[in-house]
Amino acid sequence: MGNVVAIHQPNFMPWLGYFYKIAQSDVFIFLDDVQFQKKGASYTNRVSININGEEKYLTIPVKRKNGVWNINETEFLDQKWRKKVISSLQGNYAKAKYFKENKEFIFNLINYESQDLADFNINFIENILKKLDIKTLIVNSSDYNLKTTSTQRLIDLIKVVKGNVYLSGSGGDNYQDKKLYENEKIELIYNKMPSFKYEQLKTEEFVGGLSIIDAIFNIGFENLKVKLFKEEN
C-alpha cells in the first residue's frame, strides 16, 4: 500500500478506535502544536467511561488563557483531578474481571508527573501502545515547526515523514480538500473501526465509544491484542 500516515490530536485516554487507527498506520503524528479548542467539548481533556451502564464524561480542568494557545501549551488547572479520576475508575470498575491486574499500571499513568496536557496524553498513549505491541513509528508535529494550516498542513506533515498514503478519520470529508491530496499524489483512505463488542460490567447492552480503559479493565490487554489487534502483531 505504501507508507501509511495517520495524524490526530493527542487525546485524553482515548477510545479503542484511536488505537486501532494507530495500529493501521506506519507513522502516526501527534498534532500537538495546533490551537486548543477554547469553547465546547474537546477530547484532548475529556473522555467517557461506563458509569452504571451509561456513558459519562470525565473532564480535566485546564488553565484558560487570553487569546489563543496550542495544545502543547495547555496546562492543568490543578493536580486534584488525578485523585478524582482514580476514585471514579476505582468506584466503577473495581469488580471488573481484569481490574486488579491492570489498575496499578493505569493508575501510574494517571499519576505521571506532568503539568502539560499534551505531554501527559502522549505518555499515556505511548505506554498503552507498548502493552499492545503496536510498533507504529510515533512523532510529534511540533518537531517539524511547520507554519501551514488546514489540509495543507496535513499534507506537509505527510510529506516530511515520506508518506504517500493518508489514513483519515471517518469524518475527514467534512473539512479537508481532496484535490490537494490528488495534486501531491497522496492516496486518501479512511479508517474504519471494525465492529467490536465485549462484555462490560454493569450493563447488558454494549456501550461503545468509551476510553480504552473500559476494555482494559473488562477484557485485559491480551484479549485486546488477540481480538482487535491480531492483524497488526
As to burial, measured by CB atoms within 10 angstroms (0-12 exposed, 13-18 middle, 19+ buried), residue 87 is: exposed
The pLDDT of residue 172 is above 80: no
Residue 33 pLDDT greater than 50, yes or no: yes
Helix crossing, 80-93 with 212-227: angle to 10°?
A: 60
> How many CB atoms within 10 Å of residue 224?
23
The confidence band for 170, taking pLDDT boundaries of 50, 70 and 90, is confident
pTM: 0.94
Res. 231: pLDDT tops 60: no
215 has a pLDDT exceeding 70: yes
pLDDT of residue 106: 98
Mean pLDDT over all residues of the chain?
A: 93
Q: How many Å apart are CA 140 and CA 161, to the nearest integer?
A: 11
Q: At what angle do helices 117-131 and 16-23 cross, to 10 degrees?
A: 70
pLDDT in tens, 85-127: 999 999 999 999 999 999 999 999 999 999 999 999 999 999 9
Q: Is the pLDDT of residue 232 over 50?
A: no
Q: How many CB atoms lie within 10 A of CB 189?
A: 14
| Residue 102 burial (CB count, 10 A) | 17
Rounded CA separation 183/171 (Å): 21
Q: How many CB atoms lie within 10 A of CB 16?
A: 21
Return the number of other C-beta atoms located less than 10 Å from residue 156's C-beta. Answer: 16
Q: What is the structure's pLDDT at 171?
A: 64
Q: How confident is the model at residue 65 (pLDDT cuts 50, 70, 90)?
A: confident
